[in-house]
């Protein structure tokens, strides 16, 4: 009986050892297999997860970029500009009064044949006269012009003292009253464009007088003419900006055209050599009359219409 109980206890301890050994083996197998499975999953799934993560980051970055671009550029500029122009800018109607303008010139001679007039021009330009030809039934050769008739009379008297016959010839630019509907800024810009012509003619007069009196050198005269040309170009660019958004643009278009012609006339003058002051003075006087006639032709067309 006692021997039986001892054998039973031994069997129980043997079972316990086998159970512990089995449990340890199961734990080892579980750990090893779990590591292998984890590695497999890592190799197969991780790249996909990484790709999904990068895609999400790209989407987030794309949205952030869009937001930054939106903040940098702001709302649609064109739409804002249109809204401002059509809604917020108040337009007014005003009558622009352009005063008549008269240039008093020295006419050196008048010919029935243009070729004779051109031959005479070549002679007097070498002496400092403008030599502009006006085709008014006759081919009239103009030496110089001034806005003040007294200045013209002084030159005429000096020429007479030198036994040189000449006449006063008037270049008359008509005035006009024009009804304009636009913003106050644009109306002021149009007024400035009209007053520009007389102001620049006076500047040219001053250059002519100082150059002929030896008060300035040719280079100084050249730089001042460049400045006049620059002012005309600034005015032209301003009118182009106005006309880009202005419904009624016929007046602006006409002013643009004569400003472009005036700038071209100054460009031809600036192509000349200023070192020979006599010849350069002649070219300035020629340009003076040319600019005056550009303005006159424009004003004549307005009055006719």
Angle at 285 between CA 220 and CA 128, to 5 degrees: 85
Q: How confident is the model at residue 14 (pLDDT cuts 50, 70, 90)?
A: low
pLDDT in tens, 128-144: 999 999 999 999 999 99
Output phi, psi for 134, to 5 deg.
Answer: -105, 125
Q: What is the mean pLDDT of residues 95-124?
A: 96
Q: How confident is the model at residue 88 (pLDDT cuts 50, 70, 90)?
A: low
pLDDT in tens, 216-255: 999 999 999 999 999 999 999 999 988 777 655 678 889 9
Q: What is the dihedral of CA 16, 19, 20, 23, to 10 degrees?
A: -160
Distance of alpha carbon 274 from alpha carbon 148, whole angstroms: 26
Residue 266, C-beta contacts closer than 8 angstroms, at least 6 positions apart: 225, 228, 229, 232, 287, 291
Q: How confident is the model at residue 104 (pLDDT cuts 50, 70, 90)?
A: very high
pLDDT at 158: 94
Output phi, psi for 176, to 5 deg.
Answer: -160, 150
User: H or E element: which one contains 84?
Assistant: none
Residue 11: pLDDT above 60? no
pLDDT in tens, 140-167: 999 999 999 999 999 999 999 999 999 9
Q: Is 214 left (phi over 0), alpha (psi -120 to 50) or beta?
A: left
């Amino acid at each position: 009986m006692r021997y039986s109980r001892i054998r039973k206890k031994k069997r129980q301890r043997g079972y316990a050892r086998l159970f512990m050994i089995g449990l340890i083996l199961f734990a080892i197998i579980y750990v090893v297999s779990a590591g292998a499975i984890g590695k497999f999953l890592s190799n197969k799934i991780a790249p996909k997860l990484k790709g999904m993560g990068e895609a999400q980051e790209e989407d987030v970055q794309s949205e952030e970029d869009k937001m930054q671009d939106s903040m940098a550029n702001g709302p649609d500029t064109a739409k804002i500009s249109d809204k401002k122009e059509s809604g917020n800018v108040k337009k007014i109607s005003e009558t622009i009064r352009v005063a008549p303008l008269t240039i008093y010139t020295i006419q050196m001679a008048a010919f029935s044949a243009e070729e004779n007039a051109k031959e005479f021009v070549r002679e007097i330009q070498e002496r400092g006269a403008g030599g502009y030809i006006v085709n008014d039934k006759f081919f009239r050769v103009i030496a110089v012009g001034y806005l003040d008739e007294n200045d013209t009379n002084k030159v005429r008297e000096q020429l007479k003292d030198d036994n040189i016959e000449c006449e006063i010839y008037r270049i008359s630019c008509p005035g006009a009253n024009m009804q304009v509907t636009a913003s106050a800024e644009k109306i002021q810009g149009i007024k400035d464009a009209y007053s520009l012509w007389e102001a620049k003619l006076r500047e040219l007069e001053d250059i002519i007088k100082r150059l002929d009196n030896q008060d300035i050198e040719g280079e100084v005269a050249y730089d001042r003419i460049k400045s006049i040309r620059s002012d005309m170009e600034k005015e032209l660019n301003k009118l182009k900006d106005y006309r880009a958004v202005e419904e009624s643009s016929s007046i602006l278009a006409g002013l643009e055209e004569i400003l472009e012609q005036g700038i071209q006339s100054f460009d031809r003058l600036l192509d000349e050599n200023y070192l020979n002051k006599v010849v350069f003075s002649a070219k300035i006087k020629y340009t003076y009359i040319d600019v005056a006639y550009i303005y006159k032709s424009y004003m004549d067309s307005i009055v006719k219409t």
